[in-house]
Amino acid sequence: RDKIIESNYTHLNQAQQKAVLHTEGPCLVLAGAGSGKTTMLVNRIGHMIRFGSIYRQNHVPETMTETEYKQLKEWYDLRDDTKTPMPLNLSRLLEYQSVDPSQVLAITFTNKAAREMKERVEQLLKGTCQRMWISTFHAACARMLRSDIHRLGYGSNFVIYDAQDQQVLLKECIKQLNLSDKKYSPRAVSGWIGKMKDSMVSVLESKKQNEKDFYNKQLANIYELYEKKLFQNNALDFDDLILKTLQLFRQHPEVLRYYQEKFRYVLVDEFQDTNKPQYLWVKALAEKHQNLCVVGDDDQSIYGWRGADIENILGFEKDFSETVTIKLEQNYRSTETILNAANQVVSNNRHRKAKKLFTEGLEGEKIAYCQCRNEYAEADFMVQSMQDLHEKGRNYSDFAVLYRTHAQSRVLEEAMMKAGIPYRIYGGTRFYDRKEIKDILAYLKVIENPKDELSLKRIINTPRRGIGDKTVETLEGFAVDQEKNIWEMLTETDQWKHRISSRAANSLSKFVHMLDKWIKEKNAYQVTELVEEVYSVTGYLELLKEEGSIESQGRVENLMEFISLTREFDQTAEEEKLEDFLAGTSLEAAVDSLGEEGSGVLLMTLHSAKGLEFPVVFMPGMEENVFPSSMSLKEGNEEEERRLCYVGLTRAKEQLILSNAISRTLYGFTSYNEPSRFMEEIPSDCVQNAGGNQESDHQQQDAFRKKLQRQRWQRKEMKPMETNSAPKHVGENKTLKTGQKVNHPAFGSGTVVSKVNEVVTIAFPGGGLKKINLDYVKLTVE
Ligand code: ATP
Ligand code: MG
């Protein structure tokens, strides 16, 4: 049997084959980036279903008649590029599969990943796998709840509340409890409740935990009411999908038993990013058959801030005592140079399972690195590099730009638009399409032209000021009756006040007054001043800041980034007129992604690039305070940032192009940042200076340097950077090169003269040659 199987999986390496074949019993595949984990999972599913292996056995299985076998083969051959369903008389043959598709549950992290996995399995099986569950945690749970949530008292037609619905509901709760929504902003509260749910703290527990602290006690009360209201609305929020399923399993063991029976095989990709409830869910489902295969890479755990728990990986072997752990050590994705750099960077983390990763791939090109004057020079450098590579025959769709935050994309987007390079943004919206940017633009548009009803309606209740949709409808109707524009109607008469609730009328008067002032005085303002005033007077910015979630933080960053844009306009425009500013922005906003779907350079955050690969990867913003971000440093998350860097570097197959800006204006502030510490961790022999914008005049550079120095001192005072002084161990990593000077703990310094796998030969002064096994001796690089 093994022979047959071997011949079916020769495209996989030994370790991958082992994982594919180990279908019974728990299996943990822990391996570095690009080592074929996801590929293995797909093949494993294929193997279990075994259409292919019946076919390839090339003899009639005992359980089949010859005719059946022939029919099956014919059908199978026919299916190469069509999706012909299996003829009815053959469907009986499905019984010959060792595993039925409906017995498989495969979990991935994003919808995109789930879709891709499904496609790859279908391709492999040359058939659809409708009955197989390949989905995200959330989708799988929603599906389970649809059929059984009535047992918890909900209707099966429950709705799922998104973040916005959640805000509305929380606002109601806060009001009902007579709390101030200034002190308890719905956004901040939802963040707090999210944390409770991530760590599975129930309402009762949270009330107990927070008895003593007045503020938190109220939070727990809001939490209680919020849960009650969700229930009354027959609604679940996102976190509830998993929590309610767990509750269902706990309170109705027969439901759990059903799924335990059903899913004989459970597989989880990107296991390092599961949080506690998700892990418990998987564990419960796999408890009976124990056929659980999880794959992951602790070095790529980048969702700690969402409660993902690296302990899940480390504890897996304890929870499933029969676990077979398999390591994949060959990277098939990247060139040797790229892999060396990535390995070296991540080896600076202390909290990790040591692992090996090698490639038989080519050494490849050196990593291009350009230190740029500022973010504009950086964008120019990137555009130039893209054009050069394009001329040499690369497609624009070969390129991905991975940045730390979305706000970094704006300058690059502009440069690419000017150069006519097609691009698309993944998992985020183009700068001008983002909600908060549209909101602020709508304010400016109304100030410029109060007749713009579309914009007026956009902001009339943004941020929420108690002017609901009904009120707006009434007003609109009234304006139509009077044959007036809404704004005219609002400013020219008082009659509307009697048509709506006095509360809404009150708040609307304030709104009108606020805008009216800006409209009348708009020419006295610089655009930047005006925007800053809108941010503060409307409370828009403050509300976002209070929310404190990652998403709101991104929005705040974008709003600050918008200020960079207005500053630039104010400084360069001939006349600082709002009108001209708006004309400029709407033109830019109108240039839609030039290419069609699927073509062009892909721009995305490092987080969303997980699991993907690209021939050429650009990572701009390789500077302190951008990457690692100042926020993460403040919170002591350096190691998570380094893992994120590892994820970024290992997305590249052939070429990496890194850059930083000496001065960068981001979020409205200009700062001078040193190159990222991660940059320094990349071995210098992997990197090639890509020149670029070095020609700026000496005086300017001197000034930069002085500012840099000043910042460096300040930072050192705050937090000494120990990381740089520690010697770099080269232990199990593969970055040693012949000719390199190293330090041996006993023999002192010497020079590497050759290297075969783990064994390096070192020449020590005085003529001694010694063979050293890196598995046992830690050398440090001089
Ligand atoms: P990540 O950690 O980034 O999720 P991964 O471990 O899931 O990576 P895959 O995406 O499965 O890795 O594979 C990386 C690349 O290597 C893919 O292009 C895949 O086709 C290729 N690959 C995987 N296994 C093999 C193999 N045995 N031989 C040749 N190529 C392989
Ligand atoms: Mg993968």
CA 202 to CA 212: how far, in whole Å? 17
Which one is catalytic: 17, 38, 462, 655?
Answer: 38
Determine whether the annotation assigns residue 354 to a binding site.
no
Instruction: Choose among 779, 703, 697: nearest CA to 737.
Output: 779
Give the CB-side neighbour count of residue 393, counting CA atoms within 13 A: 0
Give the model's pLDDT for residue 672.
Answer: 92
Given this model, what pLDDT does residue 53 score? Answer: 42
Q: Is 35 annotated as a binding residue?
A: yes
The amino acid sitting at 98 is S
What residues does 403 pair with on adjacent strands? 605
Q: Is 12 in the pocket of ligand 1 (CB under 6 A)?
A: yes
38 is an active site residue = yes
625, 666 Cβ separation under 8 angstroms: no
Angstrom distance (rounded) from CA 562 to CA 438: 11
Q: Which of 37, 118, 244, 333 is catalytic?
A: 37
Model pLDDT, residue 5: 43
Please tell me if the CB atom of residue 39 comes closer than 6 angstroms to any atom of ligand 1: yes
pLDDT means per 10 residues, the chain with 782 residues, are 49 86 86 94 83 50 68 60 50 54 88 82 76 88 89 80 73 89 88 91 94 92 93 83 96 96 93 91 94 92 71 81 91 95 93 83 93 94 96 94 90 89 74 84 89 84 90 89 88 89 92 95 91 94 82 82 85 78 63 48 89 95 93 88 96 96 84 93 92 50 53 41 36 64 75 73 66 70 72
**C-alpha span between 770 and 368 (Å, rounded):** 35
> Does the annotation mark 580 as catalytic?
no
Closest ligand 1 atom, CA of 39? 11
Structure tokens of 645? 């860097």
Give nearest CA residue, ligand 1 atom 16.
Answer: 332
* Residue whose entry in the numeric block shows the structure tokens 């306009």: 569
Query: Is 13's C-beta closer than 6 angstroms to any atom of ligand 1?
Result: yes
- Catalytic option among 148, 198, 240, 270: 270
At a CB cut-off of 8 Å and minimum separation 6, what does 112 contact? none
Amino acid in the structure at residue 670 = T
Taking the centre of ligand 1 as the mean of its atom positions, its distance from the CA of residue 264, in whole angstroms, is 26
Instruction: Look up residue 725 and give its two tokens.
Output: 């002084």
Q: At what angle do helices 163-176 and 186-198 cross, to 10 degrees?
A: 110
Which of 148, 181, 239, 269 is flagged as catalytic?
A: 269
Q: Please name the amino acid found at residue 10.
A: T
What's the CA-to-centroid distance between 34 and ligand 1, angstroms? 5
**Closest by Cα among 328, 327, 324 to 27:** 324
Tell me which residues have their CB within 5 A of the ion that is ligand 2: 37-38, 611
109 Cα–ligand 2 center, Å: 10
Give the per-residue pLDDT at 96: 47
Active-site residue flag, 247: no
pTM greater than 0.90: no
Q: Which ligand is nearest the CA of 355, by number? A: 1
> Is 32 annotated to bind ligand?
yes
Please tell me if the CB atom of residue 299 comes closer than 6 angstroms to any atom of ligand 1: no
Task: Name the residue of 332, 343, 355 whose CB sits within 8 Å of the most ligand 1 atoms, as the mutation to test its pocket.
Answer: 332
Q: Any known ligand binding at 33?
A: yes
Q: Residue 30 in contact with residue 296, Cβ under 8 Å?
A: yes
Confidence (pLDDT) at 692: 52
pLDDT of residue 77: 59
Task: Give the residue whose CA is nearest to atom 17 of ligand 1.
Answer: 333
Please name the residue whose Cα sits nearest to atom 11 of ligand 1. Answer: 36
| Tokens linked to 517 | 């002032």
Rounded to an integer, what distance in angstroms lies between the CA atom of residue 4 and that of residue 12?
14
651 is catalytic: yes
CB of 696 closer than 6 angstroms to any ligand 1 atom? no
Please work out whether the CB of residue 615 comes within 6 Å of at least one atom of ligand 1. Answer: no
Residues facing residue 293 across a β-bridge: 27, 267
Q: Is 334 in the pocket of ligand 1 (CB under 6 A)?
A: no
Q: What is the pLDDT of residue 80?
A: 43
Amino acid type, 380? D
Rounded CA separation 284/247 (Å): 12
Which residue among 10, 13, 18, 39 is best mutated to probe the pocket of ligand 1, counting the most ligand atoms within 8 A of its Cβ? 39
pLDDT computed for residue 82 by the predictor? 43
Annotated catalytic, 232?
no
CA of 115 to the centre of ligand 1 (A): 17
Buried b (16+ CB within 10 A) or exposed e, 230-254: beeeebbbebbbbbbbbebbeeeee
List the alpha helices (DSSP H) in 548-597.
550-572, 578-590
38 lines ligand 1 (CB under 6 A): yes
Ligand 1: does its nearest atom lie under 6 Å from the Cβ of 35? yes
Q: Which residue has the tokens 């959330």?
A: 138
Task: Identify whether the C-beta of residue 185 lies closer than 8 Å to the C-beta of residue 547.
Answer: yes
| Ligand 1 neighbour 359 (Cβ under 6 A) | no
pLDDT at 761: 75
Distance 652 CA to ligand 2 centre (A): 13
pLDDT of residue 271: 93
The verdict on the CB of residue 651 being under 6 Å from ligand 1 is: no
Say what the pLDDT of residue 777 is.
67
* 360 CA to centre of ligand 2 in angstroms: 19
Residue 65 designated active-site: no
